[in-house]
Structure 1
């Protein structure tokens, strides 16, 4: 057996795991296969004598490839959203195992894949690698170019969305911005009734430890309580994109100090994350918008 055959054999030992990682990241069997193939190409061009842990190295590479593919989707948002809907059925392309694909799809679940599609790419990667594959944050952090603390925040925010979100989450970025804009206008104007109309009855407002340290409540539940919290009190906030997702930011002098992340379902806000951790703010792509 020559060296290339030996390397191919070792790669095949990890293929199922790599495909599972890529599928959970991308929600598409065909794209998962592309990511795995790209990983093999990179391995075949690498001196394996420099790799101490082949499984860990391959997981990192397929995660980076998948992350790049997710980010590429973000730059093509003019394409129909249907192009990015997760595969609900078993793929029957040559070389794939339909039974294995059915088991893999069932293990993830369409509801979870729908929720994962609403996450920013870095959030999705942090959640998938940590919560589904038990990778420590210090290994995930270099993949998303963030500190371990900021990576933990990404996973925590994603986890709250996954655990507390209904199945009909809003994924249209234009509609997201409309809802967030209406919330900001109602908050600035002190329009309590308009806020109530925008909030789900069971909405939850959560603040991170940094925000709590400067006076925010750790958690507020219910539309009336959340509306009261924001009514007339967001005059300094402005629209922003947080890793590509519609949100708000308080940014005196153009420097984000606090950001507000929103979870929206059926046109109503079901969750708000108040985030002020310095590491998170430094490592999050906050794009301030006019308004």
Structure 2
């Protein structure tokens, strides 16, 4: 019975992880939520379950909804700015990301925006936008009325889209900007850096109090250029053998910095009219652990 239940559960695991990650913004917590869902699956009377997918999704999304309440309290005491955990997506880790809309929904920018929502608003938004559930199905999962689900969805869309700037850029365009950015930063060309930014550029770094980083967002081209120049000036002597690579992270091109094979920073940017409008840098080693683990696992599979 246990083996059969595990086989059935494993069929749904990738989708459950993808859902939990979009709900929580944390790969580590998403794994925990999926494992807790499995434990409940193993102790229930599965013969009485009509649809495994519906049952598992309902349990998982309500677990995440509960966890988001405690997560919000933890993030209020988080040291510095909070950013989502980056996830490598070049090999389908978060499901198919074939359209610009699908990629946007797992982007660092969108996951950060979702923090504005209440747990129930986020649940409705993710189930509707990312997984295409009908409001009737969402209402059943969350113990809401269908009209309440529709109302929460409209409210969530308003919150998320209100300040969201959407600009279609190709990976090549982003890579060119990254290369120009790196060249200017490496040479200490502060004026060149400043010219690459929009007037309202924002740089956010998440060091979690474990890595030295600005604890508040840095705003404005002059301040961001000076800050990044100082960051690079400090990091280069500290990590003389550092290397970088362009990789797909959260559905978008990202700059992954490594030293001695260990990831120590992942950066993403938002682009507006060929200029950088936002930078997000994850340096907290706890938030890079999942990325590194997936990377090692994939490398092992490739070697085999």
* TM score, norm. by length of structure 1: 0.50
* TM score, norm. by length of structure 2: 0.48
For CA contacts below 8 A with separation 6 or more, give which structure has more relative contact order: 2
